[in-house]
Amino acid sequence: MIVRRRTVVGIAAVLFLTGGAFTAGVVVADAGQEPRHPAFLTGADWSTFGFRDKQLYLSGFIAGAAAEQVRALAVQNGTASDSASISSHAIAALRDGKALDYSYAPSVYASQIDDFYWWTDHASTPIVDVMITTNRRMKRE
Amino acid sequence: MRNTPLTVLGAGLVLLGAVGSARAQEQVETTTGKAAARQPTFTNVTDAMLKGARSERKNWITYGRDYTNQRWSPLTQINTSNVSRLQVTWMYQTGISRLGSFETSPIVVDGVMYLTTPYNTAMAVDARTGRQIWRYEHKPSIASPIYCCGPNNRGVAISGGMVYMGTLDARLVALDAKTGQVVWDVEVADPEAGYSETMAPLVIDSMVVIGISGAEYGIRGFVRAYNARDGKQIWNFYTLPDKGWEGQFATHTNEGDDLKRDIPAEKAAMTQYGDAWQRGGGSVWMTPAYDPETHMLYFAVGNPSPDLDGTVRPGDNLYTESIVAIDARTGEYKWHYQEVPHDVWDLDATSPPVIVRLKNGKKAVVEAGKTAYVYVLDAETGKLIRRSEEFNRHENYFTQPTAEGARMLPGANGGSEWSPTAVNPNLGYMYVLGLEQPMHYITHSAPLEKGKLWLGSAFKAIPGERQYGTFTAIDLNTGKHAWQVETEQPMIGGALATAGNLVFTGEGNGHFNAYDARTGKRLWTFQAGAGCNAPPVTYELDGKQYIAVACGGNFQLGYPLGDAVLVFALPGAARASTK
């Protein structure tokens, strides 16, 4: 429910910031509201994404997850101060060893997420949560 | 499936190989003790044998029996006069723990039958008795291989003492034909990018030729040749060219059907999506046909990616939905014939192309499309000689998908699905399995039926509308129906034609049938207890003709699953009666 309210507010905020005209009945954001964090986008947003939007969103997600994975690994290994431990080279090493947590291509995840949101009662689930559970399932199978 | 590190996988394969070897040794010793003459011989299949498969009577040594893909056997011991007496000789149950569509086409060489199952188990079986000789279970290199339409495998290729299998995790594996031990194992493409293998490879001049699947996940399709000895890549042909992928923005098919395309919108979208060939699909689902005289390799290329959303892939999307000819020595492009430019209905070219000689002496390449037409093309130039009469109905053909759902026939499964056709060259007939499935095409992305068809696409069988199948003999010299029979369910699996004037095929309800090739009269049927949805083969051993078929159902169409290979023969058939 909170997410849904935020959706309306967020869209309104964007319209406000871009000088869009408001008609009667549209919820107007108060000045203190910030645009939603990308982690809280849901199936409602996913359904408005085009092909390229999905690819870009998921590419960013996968890149971010890989960066976080090498960071966590570096902390665990006591090499967090070594810049090479937290870099694209470190990610490449994990990828070559088939050790990345989020290892599938954006198009593969996009297809899985499409399937998940095909069920209309899934629409309020954040995309991030779908990614986490989908990836966990794929890694387990 | 479990996530297995590569090192463990390697060790596991060695161990499996050793077990396979021990089993094979045990089998040979046991058999030797009973009757030395009946021992499997493990013949080394040579390039010359593959080239001469057409005239060799007894074996079935490549996917389509010979390079033409005609699935035609000259054996006559089982024929129209005696097929009613056909009975089960032996049955082999694979014993796999997870079932799926069982689509294998057995390879049989001098008493040894090579099979594959869903999830990539391969085995060698004594073709006289059904006794297992060895077994190889492929452990995927990633936890969850991504594949469309079920965990299928359609069979192996054999050459030079090795057996070749493509795997769901997009690898090509070479096994020792005697033991099942892994000789080499290479990655064809990245399985985590959605690439997978389900087709049976083809061996030509010591090269293993294999296509790729994955157009449901934004891959760029290809056909590749590997050195049969060591797995090193020799050439690659992308099914989506980086230049000219958009084609001519055809408003009509080559045969004149209006595609109802919005050409201005597509041209406008080129700015944004001009690079869509990089992820534009173009799977090669089925085994090519090959002409050793001209070195031409013919294959069918499947749907563009994404399946139904044409707005993000403007243009004709060459060479998707096409028959393509290349030089098998180099992978060099020769010609293509596109059945559906800019497809948004998933009307793939999937059924394997077949090389035939027409009555006028012309060599032709023939393919049964999901479009429910058979295309007869000049083998040299790719020009259309004729398109057959429809073998399934057309309604609202090429209507554009809508948000509400636009009704159309044929549906997304065809027409003809991947099912291999068979040809009786004496009659000039091609035997085609067809599906009558009216469907709604919907513009937003959604799977057809959760857990049944995993295409991520918006086409849906229409509730309440009758679905059924067809089995059609098409005269390739005229394009007309010679005969057609209706079946209670849509047909998928494949056909076999023999010189005994018989044609065999199976149904989802478990019936495995023999028809008179001339008239379509059903002469014999057997209830297998699971869908017979795989291509039958035939072979001869010790003067006895056998018919073999995998009856393990089809997951996409909901036909009962199983894991049995059934082998039939006439009771007490005389030796050498086919000479």
pLDDT (tens place) for every residue of chain A, 141 residues total = 232 323 333 333 333 333 333 333 333 444 556 778 999 999 999 999 988 899 999 999 999 999 999 999 999 999 988 888 999 999 999 999 989 999 999 999 998 998 888 777 889 999 999 999 999 999 887
| A135 Cα to chain B: minimum distance (Å) | 10
Which range, of A60-69, B15-24, B160-169, B432-441, averages the lowest pLDDT? Answer: B15-24
Window B:392-451, CB contacts with A under 8 Å: 444-447, 450
B23-37, B62-76, B82-96: lowest mean pLDDT where?
Answer: B23-37
**Contacts with A103 from chain B: Cβ below 8 Å:** 142, 192
Question: Which of A50, A103, A107 is the closest to B217 by Cβ?
Answer: A107
Helix%, strand%, coil% for chain B, nearest 5: 10, 35, 55
Region of poorest pLDDT, from A93-102, B114-123, B544-553: A93-102
Question: Of B192, B311, B312, which is closest to A108 when you measure between CB atoms?
Answer: B192
**Each residue of A14-46: pLDDT tens digit?**
333 333 333 333 334 445 567 789 999 999 999
- ipTM of the predicted assembly exceeds 0.90: no
Regarding predicted confidence, which is higher, A33 or B386?
B386
* pLDDT tens digits along B149-178: 899 999 999 999 999 999 999 999 999 999
Closest CA to B75 of B550, B567, B540: B540
Contact A141 B454 (CB under 8 A): no
Q: Hey, are the CB atoms on A118 and B5 less than 8 Å from each other? A: no
Residue B221 lies in a domain: yes
Q: Give B-chain residues touching A50 at CB under 8 angstroms.
A: 312
Task: State the pLDDT at residue B12.
Answer: 35
The residue of chain B with its CA nearest to that of A120 is: B446
On whether residue B282 sits in a domain, the answer given is no
CATH code for position B53: 2.40.128.630
Specify if B263 maps to a domain.
Answer: no
Residue B393, in any domain of the structure: no
Confidence of residue B444 (pLDDT cuts 50, 70, 90): low
Assess if residue B187 is contained within a domain: yes
Segments forming the whole domain that contains residue B216: 1-69+104-239
**CB contact A108 to B (< 8 Å):** yes
| Mean pLDDT confidence for B201-206 | 98
Chain B contact for A105, CB < 8 A? yes
Q: Mean pLDDT of all residues in chain B?
A: 90
Residue B415 located in a structural domain: no
Q: Residue B277 in 3-state DSSP? A: helix
Residue A15: the pLDDT is: 31
- What is the spatial distance between Cα B81 and Cα B570, in angstroms, rounded to a whole number? 12
If you measure CA to CA, which chain B residue comes closest to A51? B312
List, as own/partner pairs, every contact residues A95-102 make where C-beta atoms lie below 8 angstroms and the sequence separation is at least 24, other chains included.
Answer: A95/A66, A98/B5, A98/B6, A98/B141, A98/B142, A100/A66, A100/A69, A101/A65, A101/A66, A101/A69, A101/A135, A101/A139, A102/A61, A102/A62, A102/A65, A102/A66, A102/A131, A102/A135
**Three-class secondary structure of residue B324 per DSSP:** strand
User: Which of B190, B279, B456 is facing A114, going by the closest CB pair?
Assistant: B456
The pLDDT value recorded for residue A32 is 58
Question: Chain A window 120-139: which residues touch B at a Cβ cutoff of 8 Å?
Answer: 137-139
Q: How many domains does chain B contain in total? A: 1
A115 and B146: CB-CB below 8 Å? no
In a domain, B4, yes or no: yes
The identity of residue B483, as a single letter, is W
B463 close to B407: Cβ distance less than 8 angstroms: no
Q: Is B141 on the interface with A (CB under 8 A)?
A: yes
Tell me the shortest Cα–Cα distance from A104 to chain B, in angstroms: 4
Closest partner residue to B192 among A52, A103, A141, by Cβ?
Answer: A103
Is residue B81 situated within a structural domain?
no
Active site residues of B: 346
Q: How far apart are CA A105 and CA A14, in angstroms?
A: 31
For residues B406 and B396, is the Cβ–Cβ distance under 8 A? yes
Residue B233 has pLDDT above 70, yes or no: yes
Determine, for residues A114 and B142 on separate chains, whether the beta-carbon distance falls below 8 Å: no
What's residue B449's pLDDT? 39
